[in-house]
Amino acid sequence: MKLVEPPSCSSAASTVVFIGRDSRGNWVAQEQNGFYGGLFVNRAQAIKYALFENGHHPETIVELPREIELDMNGNQLLSGKRRAA
């Protein structure tokens, strides 16, 4: 039996993962389309998670200088305002 990766896994290198702090000081890692993400106690763990999820492509990780809120509904929140799709 041949195992096939789902499309979201095979295209991991082409997606951007944003990392930054939320309004409460937690570290956030979130894929640009909201397919995956999480809250972390430090930057190193957020980066480790992002690398694991995106197939170890550090060039697709973007650290944001402004607040980022974790949103698992597919709508990324930046600085408390919804980003236009």
Given this model, what pLDDT does residue 72 score?
77
- Residue given tokens 């763990």 in the structure block: 45
Rounded CA-CA distance 70/32 in Å is 11
Higher pLDDT, 66 or 82: 66
pLDDT of residue 49: 97
Q: Which of 7, 8, 4, 37 minimizes the C-alpha distance to 20?
A: 37
| pTM: predicted TM-score of the whole model, two decimal places | 0.71
Q: Tokens 């990392």, residue?
A: 19
Residue 79 has pLDDT above 50, yes or no: no
**pLDDT digits over 7-65, tens only?**
455 555 578 999 999 999 999 999 999 999 999 999 999 999 999 999 999 999 999 99
Element of type H or E holding 65: none
Look up residue 62 and give its DSSP letter. Answer: E
Please answer whether residues 82 and 75 qualify as being in contact, where contact means their C-beta atoms are separated by less than 8 angstroms.
Answer: yes
